[in-house]
Amino acid sequence: MFPDKMISSQKLEEMIVDAYGDDGNWITKAPVVIGELIKLRTLNALHFDFPDVDCFESFIKFSSSWKGREWRSFTYMIGVPNKGQNQRGPTIKRRDGYLTFAGGSDSPPSAVKDALQHADAFELLCHTSVSNLSEFRGSMKKLRSCRVSDCMMIDSIFVKDDGPVETLEELYLLNLEGLKGIWKEPTERQSLQNLKFLHFVNCKSLAKVFTVATLMGLPKLEELHVESCEDVVEIIGTEEESHHGEKRDVESKLKTLVLAELPNLTRFYKEDQLMVKWVSLEKLQVSNCSRLKAVHLQKLHFSGFVEVRGNMEWWSSVDWTNESVKKNLRFKLL
């Protein structure tokens, strides 16, 4: 694949080595290639698959280009993903600094944290001990996109003391069997103030998508997908939040809400405790949510119609207590 003297040009600025295809010997070849890479002083764009943390540590420790220059772009895969693992489910936008950390059973290595400080996109795959992203928090100041998949110990994404996460725009959470919610012990001080896209897929311990406090900390959320989360009963829960028995009004700027394969979903929220003002909603899609009979769209505060997609059996079964709501909806078969 690579000759002994792989790189002859010391002025090389960009390089792509995508090794996780058919080459089963990459684990033994990678250190040789890295030995050549660290000699390059002008490199400022690199796509590279590092088979393990040790290889990556060698690169950032000895590479003149990594230590001495502002990088135009990089895409690093650290570790070996399960075959097809990072292709499943929604993908995040390609960014200038894209870091994937696959596997691992210990605390996040300092080399990974160092690289994460320069990344605006991060994927965490198949880690067996990380319980939330707070273990990386000091390194995520530039992060705009994040995807977490198949991490068996994840029970929340952030913890109470993290404070606002200011840069994150998209968050995809897949196959996290222990996930209970975004925040552990949420309060209204926490904020994902720039988050626009949020997906939950196959999170089997998730019973409610938000608390009211969490929703209030998502002022720019435009798109929410909840799919194959079998324990979800409601979208917004209020049981754990005391507000002196008063009914709360909350504003949501969601444009798209997709609910799929949620066999226990029965409601959006409890109407006696909460009223959501949907100021921007354009599309509601429901598929295989057979117990969802209450669609809380009473407060549609915009001029236009909401497109509702689903099957006819579900549409006919919805309890339209307020028939006037239907005049603002346009139903289409999936």
DSSP bridge partners of 125: 102, 149
Give percent of the chain with pLDDT exceeding 70: 84
The tens digit of pLDDT for each residue in 256-298 reads 999 999 999 999 988 888 888 888 889 999 999 999 988 877 6
Question: Tokens in use for 229?
Answer: 């989360």
**Spatial contact of 130 and 151, defined as CB atoms under 8 Å apart:** yes
Q: Which of these ranges, 1-10, 57-66, 220-229, 307-316, has the smallest mean pLDDT?
A: 1-10
Domains of the chain: which residue ranges? Answer: 207-334
Question: Tokens in use for 334?
Answer: 């999936």
The answer on pLDDT for 243 being more than 90 is no
The tens digit of pLDDT for each residue in 94-103 reads 788 999 999 8
User: Whole-number mean pLDDT of the chain?
Assistant: 84
The answer on pLDDT for 15 being more than 80 is yes
The model's confidence at residue 161, banded by pLDDT at 50, 70 and 90, is: low
DSSP codes joined into one string, 138-176:
GG-TT--EEEEES-TT--EEE-GGG----S--EEEEES-
The tens digit of pLDDT for each residue in 30-42 reads 888 898 888 888 8
pTM of the model: 0.90
Q: What was the pLDDT predicted at 68?
A: 61
Select, from the ranges 74-83, 126-135, 154-163, 243-252, the one with the highest average predicted confidence (pLDDT). 126-135
279 sits in the region (left: phi over 0; alpha: psi -120 to 50; else beta) called alpha
